[in-house]
Amino acid sequence: MLRPRCRRPRNLLERSWRILLLELRSQNWIKKLGQRNERWRAAQRYGTRQDFSHNGSFHEAVGAVLVMAQCFCVMPVRGILASTPDGLSFSWHSWRTWYCVGYMCTTVLDTIFTINQVVHGKLDVRNMEPIIFHVSILLASVQFLHLARKWPKLMHQWACVEQGLPKFENWQQREHLARKIHRVTFVLMMLSLTEHLLSIVSAIHFANYCPARKDPIESYFYSSGSQIFFIFPYSAWLAWLGKAQNVLLTFGWSFMDIFVMIIGIGLSELLARHTICLKSHAERDMSEAFWTSTRTQYRLIVELIIEVDEAVSGLIMLSFANNLYFICLQLLKSINKMPSMAHAVYFYFSLSFLLIRSLAVLLYVSAVNERANEPLGLLRLVPAATYNEEVARFGNELAGEEVALSGLRFFSVTRKLVLTVAGTIVTYELVLIQFHEDEKEWHCGTD
């Protein structure tokens, strides 16, 4: 592997301070709290321009998103708001990790309850839905935990690659990545929230329609946590716990897609910056040394993409399989008559949201492949006079490799995948419809 030389801003002082910290960690909780308090106070002082200006790094851009993720028990890595990736670390002894592992335990319990409930009902491709939902989120949590351990090293490599790229020219460029990531996250979280609220509204309506309990709210809780009350008698605190778990699961389900998108955005941004630099020089009379450095830079980015792919391709696989399954299922349900207007609104909003989110994931992730192919077109514009061995080598390397994120390397995520997936959905749908009986759905007593 190319070993990028990159300035690690660690002087002696810092290093010794770190050693001190490590020694003290296990003993003095109070000191730690004090430090946190200080940091909190520091955050309370008036912001200077420096505070709000971005340095344009991916680490910084993704920080806020990861904070949100940690609130919902995923990605237990420390130092996500640190100024450099060197501040990142993972430890099994952190409260974040404990929090996350605790969540995974309750998810396992919930999954067992769900399987228990489903197995006692009629087995069917549609009744499998809650099991698939639970199991895929459980797997995603495991993947995120695994990723958290690799995250510090990955972000460090990412930062090194960023340092090798040409400098930003103004603050708009610096802000660009962070704004894009925040915008995408915000929009998707809002849509996800709306969908969840609509699901509650329609479920309460449904609870009125065929009440399991007298009180409508109680009835709603009863139906939303039906896998729990299949075993235990109804109790308010169990209902609240079930609801909380349900919210966490729903977030995890959405976050899987959001995270994959963000990774796609980050990597294609790197490639775009590299391409812009190449674009402005391709037709000029550049030296062989320029081409060597350009090629090496590109190689560093590709190495990073391979590393990132190794870390997140499990999540990509999970996200794609999940979306494929739920789209097929929802389309299948779409033939049913809706029992009420509330259901219809919820259903079509939910379906559209699912389709748009899946398409967005595909397009953002495949953008990495699109961006990675752009330099090849530019190399073809290099004038004959300045064409040299290095340009030829760069061209050959580009033509002979496929740079793309993948799903466990079983498939590469390229733009042409969209059509394959669409064709698969249509085929499965046409065949699945034949098993469909209209009467089955939306009756009292079924999910």
Where along the sequence are the contacts to its own copies (CB under 8 A)?
1-2, 123, 283, 288, 292, 295, 299, 306, 335, 370, 376-377, 380-381, 384, 387, 389-390, 392-393, 395-397, 399-401, 409-411, 415-416, 418-419, 423-424, 426-428, 430-435
Closer residue to its own copies, CB minimum distance, 231 or 426: 426
What is the distance between the alpha carbons of residues 326 and 328, in angstroms, rounded to a whole number? 5
Comparing CB distances to its own copies, the nearer of 104 and 286 is 286
CB of 356 to its own copies, least distance (A): 16
Which of residues 246 and 340 has its CB atom nearest to its own copies in the complex? 340
| Helices marked H in 334-441 | 341-379, 389-399, 417-432
Dig out the tokens for 439 from the structure. Answer: 């009467």
Q: What is the 3-state secondary structure (H, E, C) of 245-310?
A: HHHHHHHHHHHHHHHHHHHHHHHHHHHHHHHHHHHHHCCCCCCHHHHHHHHHHHHHHHHHHHHHHH
Question: Which is nearer to its own copies, 236 or 381 (by Cβ)?
Answer: 381
Eight-state DSSP code of residue 433: G
Nearest to 340 by CA among 198, 202, 195, 222: 202
- Answer for the pair 191, 337: CB distance below 8 angstroms, yes or no: no
Name the minimum Å distance from CB 6 to its own copies: 17
**Shortest distance, CB of residue 149 to its own copies, whole angstroms?**
24
Q: What is the DSSP letter of 231?
A: T
Shortest distance in whole angstroms from residue 428 CB to its own copies: 6
Tell me the CA distances in angstroms from 414 to 236, 258, 367, one per residue in order. Answer: 49, 18, 8
Q: Which is nearer to its own copies, 190 or 276 (CB)?
A: 276
Bridge partners (DSSP) of residue 406 are 412
Report in angstroms how near the CB of residue 264 gets to its own copies at its nearest.
Answer: 16
Closest distance of CB 298 from its own copies, Å: 10
In the complex with its own copies, the residue whose CB is nearer, 258 or 305, is 305
